[in-house]
Amino acid sequence: MFHYVSTWLTRAVGRTWLGGWLFRRLYGALEFNVVPVRMGRLGARLDGLRVAFVSDLHVGGLVRSAEVVRIFDRLADLEPDLVVLGGDLIDAHPDDAFELAGGLHKLAAPHGVVAVPGNHDRGVERDLALWREALEANGVRVLINDGTRIGAGGDSLWVAGVDDLGLGEPDLERALRGCREDEPALLVTHQPDLFVEAAHVGVDLTLAGHTHGGQITFGGFAPWMHKHSRLRFFHGHYRIGQAQLYVGRGAGVTFLPLRIGAPPEIPILELVASQAGTGRGGPAR
């Protein structure tokens, strides 16, 4: 019941002068942090690849199509090489997909735009029909237990995406099918706890959202953060052996139109080639 009341409140506030003020306050603090990530098996021709990770927009509450345009305009100015949409793109109603679609035309990158669903996307529309239509009509490739290869000059990177861990049916093996033994892999999953399994099979880098970095925190911590990651992957950079995880704080809000101690974030992961890595196909060490 609290979820529905709070969602109604956020949507109602978002249509008022107060909602506009809250949006300006929140998104004036939106951070586009450049995060260098050293990847041992990344080819030299992909050195410096810039991956923009957009998660947890929750379009439909404070964020409407006009705000999506403003956010994506700012992102486009940074000229990322690949844009990854990491789930919870809409908030509480299937029609929120139309608001999302109103800004997707602003996204463009040399290696394309890919997306995975989150628990909100799955929760409001089990078959993801409108969500998928909005994305694909704007040139976004949906990766639900699927993967695609990007490359430059003979060097390549396998980009895999899985279904939501909570409300979907993630299949990591299927998402990695087609990835070569000597090829680095980047996995996109909405919920970060899949990282342990990804690390076990040798995925080089996993990107996840879902936690909002707590959204409302005190001293960098909130008691409800454990609900979003039982394995305590709350925000930032983690490592298991050679495998790495980055958990973004996300760009939107849910439940309450506030953020305290956890400003909104669209990180730009700058991949740095290094020869220190090992082959994949077994557990990360």
What six digits make up the tokens of 52? 């923009």
Residue with tokens 């039982």, as numbered in its chain: 230
Pairing of strands 243-247, 205-208: parallel
Is 284 inside any structural domain? no
Count how many domains the chain has: 1
Q: pLDDT tens track of the chain, all 285 residues?
A: 444 455 666 666 666 666 667 767 777 789 999 999 999 999 999 999 999 999 999 998 778 888 899 999 999 999 999 999 999 999 988 999 999 999 999 999 999 999 999 999 999 999 999 999 999 999 999 999 999 999 988 999 999 999 999 999 999 999 999 999 999 999 999 999 999 999 999 999 999 999 999 888 887 777 776 677 889 899 999 999 999 999 999 999 887 778 888 999 999 999 999 864 444 443 332
The answer to whether residue 238 sits within a structural domain is: yes
CB < 8 Å & 24+ apart, contacts of 227-231: 228/191, 229/191, 229/192, 229/193, 230/193, 231/192, 231/193, 231/195, 231/196
What is the token pair recorded at 212? 């909002």
Q: Hey, what are 272's tokens?
A: 């740095």
Radius of gyration of the chain (CA): 18
Q: Which strands sit side by side in the sheet containing 146-152, from one edge to the other?
A: 146-152, 155-161, 185-188, 205-208, 243-247, 236-240
Establish if 283 belongs to a structural domain: no
SS3 content of the chain, % helix, strand, coil (to 5): 30, 25, 50
What is the extent of the structural domain holding 138?
Answer: 2-273
How many other CB atoms are found less than 10 A from the CB of residue 195? Answer: 27
Q: Which residue has the tokens 């694909």?
A: 136
Cβ(59)–Cβ(93) under 8 Å? no
CATH number where 191 lies: 3.60.21.10
- Is the residue at 9 inside a domain? yes
Note whether 253 and 10 are within 8 A (CB): yes
Fill in the DSSP letter of residue 126: T
Report the amino acid identity of residue 69. V
Asked if residue 88 is part of any domain, the answer here is yes
Taking the model in full, what pTM does it have? Answer: 0.90
How far is CA 175 from its chain centroid? 16
Cβ 176 vs Cβ 148: under 8 Å: no
Q: For residues 197 and 206, what is the distance between their CA atoms, to the nearest angstrom?
A: 11
CA distance 202 to 172: 11
Residue 285 lies in a domain: no
Q: Give domain status of residue 141, yes or no.
A: yes
In a domain, residue 264? The reply is yes
